[in-house]
Amino acid sequence: MIRLAISFPAGRFHATPWANHVNEGVPEWPPSPWRLVRALVSALHTKGSGLNRELLYSVILRLNTPPAFSLPPAASGHSRHYMSLNQTDRSKTALILDTFVLVPADLCIIVHWVIDFTSEEREALGALVQRVAYLGRAESWCEIRLLSENEPFGEINCQPTDGTPAPMTETVRVLCPGPNVGRQDLERTTPQIQAEGWNDPPGSRWAFYRRPASSFRIRPERVVANAASDNLPTVAEFALGGTVLPLFTEAIRIADSFRAAALSRHKTPSRTLSGKNGDGSPLQEQHHHAHYIPDTRDGRGRITHMMVWAPEGFTEREQQALSEIDHLKLTDNRDDLSVILNGFGTPADFQNACRLFGTSKQWRSRTPFLLPRHVRPKRDHQEDQVRRELALRGLPVEVSVTALPVRADTVGARWSEFDAYRRRKTAGFTGRAGFVLEFDVPQSGPVLLGIASHFGMGQFVREEMPAKASD
Q: What is the pLDDT of residues 53-63, one digit of tens each?
A: 999 999 999 99
Strands of 204-212's sheet in order across: 159-161, 204-212, 169-177
Instruction: Find the mean pLDDT for residues 458-470.
Output: 65
* CATH of region 235-350, choose from 1.25.40, 1.20.1630, 3.30.1490, 3.30.70: 3.30.70
| pLDDT tens-place string over residues 265-275 | 988 888 889 88
> Is it the case that residue 416 has pLDDT exceeding 80?
no
How much is the pLDDT for 158?
93
**Number of helices followed by number of strands (H, E) in the chain:** 10, 21
On the 0-12 / 13-18 / 19+ scale of CB atoms within 10 A, 287 is middle
Backbone angles phi, psi at 39, to 5 degrees: -65, -35
- Whole-structure pTM over 0.75, yes or no? no
Do 231 and 277 meet the contact criterion of CB atoms below 8 Å apart? Answer: no
Residue 228 has pLDDT above 70, yes or no: no
- Of the two residues 223 and 118, the one the predictor is more confident about is 118
**pLDDT value of residue 420:** 58
Q: What residues have CB less than 8 Å from 416, skipping those under 6 apart?
A: 406
What's the pLDDT band for 222 if we cut at 50, 70, 90? Answer: very low
Average pLDDT over residues 117-138: 93
Residue 164, Cβ neighbours under 10 Å: how many? Answer: 8
pLDDT of 129? 94
pLDDT tens for 64-119 read 999 999 999 888 887 877 888 787 777 778 877 788 999 989 999 999 999 999 99
Question: Whole-angstrom Cα distance, residue 149 to residue 305?
Answer: 49
Answer for the pair 411, 250: CB distance below 8 angstroms, yes or no. Answer: no
Q: Is the pLDDT of residue 467 over 50?
A: no
Question: What was the pLDDT predicted at 93?
Answer: 80
- For the chain, give every residue range classified as CATH 3.30.70: 2-212, 235-350
Average pLDDT, the chain: 85
Q: Please report, for residues 252, 253, 310, 370, 455, the alpha-carbon distance to residue 425 in angstroms, rounded to integers and kept in the order given.
A: 8, 9, 18, 11, 8
Q: Give pLDDT, residue 48.
A: 87
What pLDDT is recorded for position 76? 84
State the CATH architecture for 2-212: 2-Layer Sandwich (3.30)
pLDDT score, position 397: 86
**449/368 Cα distance (integer angstroms):** 10
Say which amino acid occupies 464: E
Q: Which of 37-41, 143-147, 364-368 has the lowest mean pLDDT?
A: 364-368
- As a whole number, mean pLDDT of residues 233-256 equals 90
Task: Check pLDDT > 60 for residue 145.
Answer: yes
* CA atoms of 240 and 308, how far apart (whole Å): 13
Which is more confidently placed, 468 or 123?
123
**Which pLDDT does position 318 carry in this prediction?**
92
Which residue blocks in 244-326 are alpha helix, DSSP H? 251-266, 271-274, 316-323
Closest CA to 48 of 133, 109, 115: 133
Amino acid code (one letter) for 294:
P
pLDDT per position as a tens digit, 335-361: 888 898 888 999 999 988 888 999 999
Residue 154 has pLDDT above 60, yes or no: yes
Q: What pLDDT sits at residue 465?
A: 44
Q: Give bridge partners of residue 77 from the DSSP assignment.
A: 100
